Structure 1
């Protein structure tokens, strides 16, 4: 299958699986193409601009944006989702699509970062958590110079200001910030580059990033 066929087949598999397992709130083909497939590819230029090497997609869910990005770039990818049922479905999707460049981890992000510390040239995250939390969770996974690529919708200024205040402490700098307004949808792609090591030991205990945010 070519890239376009793979993207469509992936969506078919997601919609079929969703009939018996709740992996996405989207249940129509048109919405799936727009809100999953096309939305995942919004960040393609940012991943192509990242240093060469594998990337990790954290909180991958139904495989968005990880699978479309892996299909389009050919990069090795690790899809991380700690919900075992979702991870098993991801494995079945990858096998059905024949994606030899994609692997699955069903560990919590903090545990995966201990196993794969410093392994990735990029980390992607879509509709997962606040920007400051993503910065903390991704830091140990990234290689020096690696890019954290965050897909954000409408983001309060307070969230952005707080995240930017943590740049030095977490060893980042903003690389790019792009907003796309299409079909009455706002999508913002924020990229942070890992420029140093954090001022605290990461990862913290599982769940601390969300329960005890910096």
Structure 2
């Protein structure tokens, strides 16, 4: 069950403070200024809240979660069971400790595996995934497709998306059983920082065997089949 807005905000603020404190000994975020972190981590994390809420009920995964953003604020705001995924195991170990400190480990867990390995362990397990500034769209679609249930959603957070990047993804979405269903542009509260939220839905099984070997989605992105 989702918490009250006040409780969500209070826990999110506590989590941010813990991250900034832990950041003094391990690099969880490049942002060290509290006000900047509040905007670029807490506020930015919740930019895609409506899109995450519109996804089917069920498990939520945050890919490339790093210091736990947008995963932790979205977990708090939605009440969804959540898995934070990042292959930097040291980061995930620290994030896991912070989640324990806040008493949230029944709802939020961490995974220090590569996304491709998670897809082998838990295929078709996730109703919604987020990815914030993680990779090109074409790679995100490939990595997400085997993880999502049919009807599940991938919510991508981008600063900006070039026509080239979008067209590259649209050219292979059918091959991956995915489809772009929405694109929304907005600005953060400073009136300058642009965000684009793109949502892809898992429509069908991919027409190729996924996952490919670790790193292939980024190193040799898929191209449309003739």
1:21 and 2:29 matched: no
What 5-or-longer segments of structure 1 have no aligned partner? none
Distance in 2, matches of 1:204 and 1:152, equals 24
Paired residues in the alignment total: 214
Match of 2:141 among 135, 138, 156: 135
**RMSD in angstroms over aligned alpha carbons?**
1.0
SS in 1 for 2:113: coil
Give me the whole-angstrom Cα distance separating, in 1, the residues matched to 2:95 and 2:172.
33
C-alpha distance in 1 between matches for 2:27 and 2:158 = 23
- The whole-number CA distance in structure 2 between the counterparts of 1:12 and 1:187 is 24
Please report how far the alpha carbon of residue 155 of structure 1 lies from its aligned counterpart in structure 2 after TM superposition.
1.6
Q: Displacement of 1:172 after TM fit?
A: 1.0
| Corresponding residue to 2:90 among 51, 74, 85 | 85
Alignment of 1:198 onto 2:206: yes
Tell me the TM-score normalised to structure 2 length: 0.93
Select 1:149's aligned residue among 140, 146, 155. Answer: 155
d(CA) in 1 for partners of 2:59, 2:103: 18
- Cα distance in 2 for residues equivalent to 1:173 and 1:154: 19
Q: Match of 1:169?
A: 175
Alignment of 1:1-214 (within 5 A): 2-99=7-104, 100-182=106-188, 183-214=191-222
Render the CA deviation track for 1:38-79: whole Å, top value 9, x for unaligned. 000000000100001111101000000000000001000111
- Helix, strand or coil at the partner of 2:168: helix
- Equivalent-residue separation in structure 2 for 1:175 and 1:205 (angstroms): 28
Using the alignment, how far apart are the partners of 2:147 and 2:60 within structure 1?
9
Q: CA deviation at 1:181?
A: 2.3
